[in-house]
Amino acid sequence: MIPSPAWQERAASGRKAYVYLLRNSKGRFYLGWTTDIKRRLKEHNTGEGNYTKTRGPWDLIGYEIFSNVEDAKKRERALKHNPRMLKFLKKRALATLRVSAAMRQNMQVMG
């Protein structure tokens, strides 16, 4: 028996979900949601995403974890429809990457 789409939606609502931010080498961003970040990043980089297939390769630069799919979808929608909020998220993710890179560099110098 194949479950109905409504049943699948209820079953998926109990799973962890992620809103993620990708960036390519040209500095373009992509925001999406998923329940499996590794699989989704691989799909983006192998040409399985409509927008991302010709614009890769993509790097994951940040993500947020949600306790269910509905909350992740709401957050993604809110970010995509609020440019100021999305700009803040991009700045925060890029700043975190810079700090991480600086810390790695310091560890190499010390070690």
CATH code, 43: 3.40.1440
Structurally, the chain folds into a number of domains equal to 1
Q: What's the token pair of residue 107?
A: 């560890």
Expressed as residue numbers, the domain containing 78 is: 5-110
pLDDT tens-digit profile, the chain (111 residues): 344 444 444 444 568 999 999 999 898 899 999 999 999 999 999 988 788 888 889 999 889 999 999 999 999 999 999 888 888 888 888 888 777 766 776 666 665
